[in-house]
Structure 1
Amino acid sequence: MQRYDWLKKIQRLDPETEFTEIYRISSWYEFPWDYTQSLSFALYRTYAVPSIGRLLAGTGEFTRRTQKRYDDTVLILEAVIEHGFDSSQGREAIRRMNGMHRRYDISDADYRYVLSTFVVTPKRWMDDYGWRRLSPHEIRASVNYYRELGRHMGLVDLPETYEEFERLLDDYEREHFAFDEGGRAVSDSTLGLMASWYPAPLRSSMRLSSLCLLDAPLREAFGYPAPSAPLRSAVRAGMRLRGRFVRLLPPRRRPHLGRDSRQVRSYPGYPYGYRISELGTFEDTPAPGGCPFPHAAADGKGASPTGRHALRHPDARPPGRHPVRRAERRDQAVLPIRDSRIAILDKWIMSSIPMSSPPEASPSLWSGQPSDWAWTSRWCRTIRTRRRPSPPLPPGGSRSWSTSRTAGASSASTAGAGAWR
């Protein structure tokens, strides 16, 4: 596979009808790190609008539980990208997002501005720091994708072109950017969160580097002092140098999703994972308004269909330190493994441990999805996270691995899931 093969595929797609697929390729294969950073800065910009920053500070969610709010945002938006607007998971994510937003008095103008930051900020980021610029197909697909998202949010009078989105953003910031104590508090918490992703000795430097990437109007709206000109130049030169280095790398063959990132920490994914319907914030009483987008009624348990999210089984036990029988989660998918060392262990297990049945014997684990290797990830996760003492051997018995450890069977012949025989 050549460096520009993904771009060639994008150019063969129609940005008017296949915008979700184009956006998926751009954000998961071509620019996974850049999209994560640029969308983080896009959301960060909105805090400088007093009506938005004051509201977020008032909820306390972005100051007291900043990491979880970041994770919820990533996972909800990613579910729509991954499964599409017409899927059950995508509709569930949009219902969850609308359900949170409709509890507050947010103007349509603020909604449209937030949407414009998601269109404009990534494009400007790629122009400055990406390993290549976004193609016209990618820009148009981004516009259509967020127009569709806005329609599902019940918004009207949305810009139709990138230039209109850019004009909306610049005019709105010029008119509304101003200092507010609430916006500054949310900004401080967000910068602290970004710095916490790095080793302790580097955190102050990373926070200062983040300030160097802010444009002057945004920095002044938060009341931060301007870093020195040489430091700003050095940080931005380093970002451009990174982009040139990435250009020399081979193309990505596997998607890099937000939930695979080490920055998402609130939902470890194994063995429980998360439900889309349980992400975000909730209130004891229903909020007025509700979701403006018509949708089918949820099932009796309110659970979204199981996908690659490792959704928790309704009958599974709550997270805790107690052991969980594999028979209770035999029908769950497993989140992709984050650690490459565990992926190496995957291959070693498959090649060196004798098994009495092929993967086809466990259809619930070998699903033919992009994460086919989830079948062996249960071995690796168990070896890494839980070491159980071996039971005493029966008279004349010997130790050997049982495939029931993987398949999650709990029959009497194997003495329960994960048994030695």
Structure 2
Amino acid sequence: MSVINRMLRDLDKREQQQNNQAYTPAAVAPSQGSKRRVALIASIGAILVLAVLVWQWWHEGLADPALDPAADSAAQQAESPTTDPGSYVMQALQAEPAQPEPASTPEAPQEAVNAVRETSDDATEGRNQLVVNVAELQQSALPAQTEAAQTESKQTEAAATIAAASQAEPKEELADPAPDPTPAPAPKRAPDPAPKVGPTPTSTSSMKVERVELTPAQLAETNLRRAREAMAKGDRDLAQELLEKALIVQPMHVEVRSELAAYWYGRGFATRALTILQQGLDRQPQQSEWQLLYARILDRMGRVDQAYSALININEDTDEALELLELRAAAANQLGYYAEAAADYTVLAGRFLQSRWWLAAAVAHEDSDNPAAAVRAYQQALQYRDLSSEARQYINDRLYALTPIEPETN
């Protein structure tokens, strides 16, 4: 049908081109258009009839190879030359047992019928042989069963004879009580040596229960491990109970107190979390992990002044020192302590070697009315390559604004 559609489209294009290119005078008779339309319809009808005939002939051709497997396979091989080699192998394997004769010989159907009859006769003969073999096996098994039964009956009779003989022997001894006048002396037997009795082997496997007392630190570690396992399984109540037990036996355990405070804060009890951390900071004020967690909770609650107060004393030799300095500088900047914020940002710039800390220190110095320190910080920030173009332009503008303009001398 795609061929018909393509031909129709070509005819339409040609007609449109002829209509566009050819000039139709006003005196053209209307009969020519009707003749052309009739011719077009007739050609389309002829094409449709031809397509129907071709389609019917093609379907009849597809139906015929089903009667001849050899011709069907040959046609398939001729039509699809690029078929996968595996399909040829499968076709060959399927075609080997049949071995059909060429389709041109008229005796092929009769030979196929004879082959089918011979196959059925062979199958019938095979079944008969199978039945005969089963019967022979049954007949051969009968003598064996008979012999087994006879053997069993003989054994039974022999056992009965032996039992009767054993019962008859005492009677014969009573009937002839006279002893032999010259009995032969019985040889003396040496006494059998007593068997040596060795020591009985004792069982080597034994279970001994000992009570081990754990130290407070070990008990706290055990409860902490169990609490983490319970938390991983989703049992938060058990985790809370185990953490509280661990904190009772080991109040200065940093991880236990921190995880218990984080647990209560995650449950929405921020005040209880702060209380737990405050109790630890009362005993050890510069414990950096407790300080950081305590200040973060206060900062998120909007209590920036308390967070800054909690971070006044910081041990800069701990792993959390840089985070504590960053948090304290941000809190000081929010509270208006620009000089303190600039000092913390300067320390961070010396530790991290990043331009953003110098930029933050310069802004803090500028807010604290210290333009000279701000200019130095801006100049330090320009030495780093991690600055964006916008930040670099901002620094240049601030340097131009902060640098005093010297009057020109004549």
TM range, normalised to the smaller chain? under 0.3
Q: Which has the higher contact order (CA 8 A, sep 6+)?
A: 1
TM-score (norm 1): 0.20
Q: From the CA coordinates, give the structure whose radius of gyration is larger.
A: 2
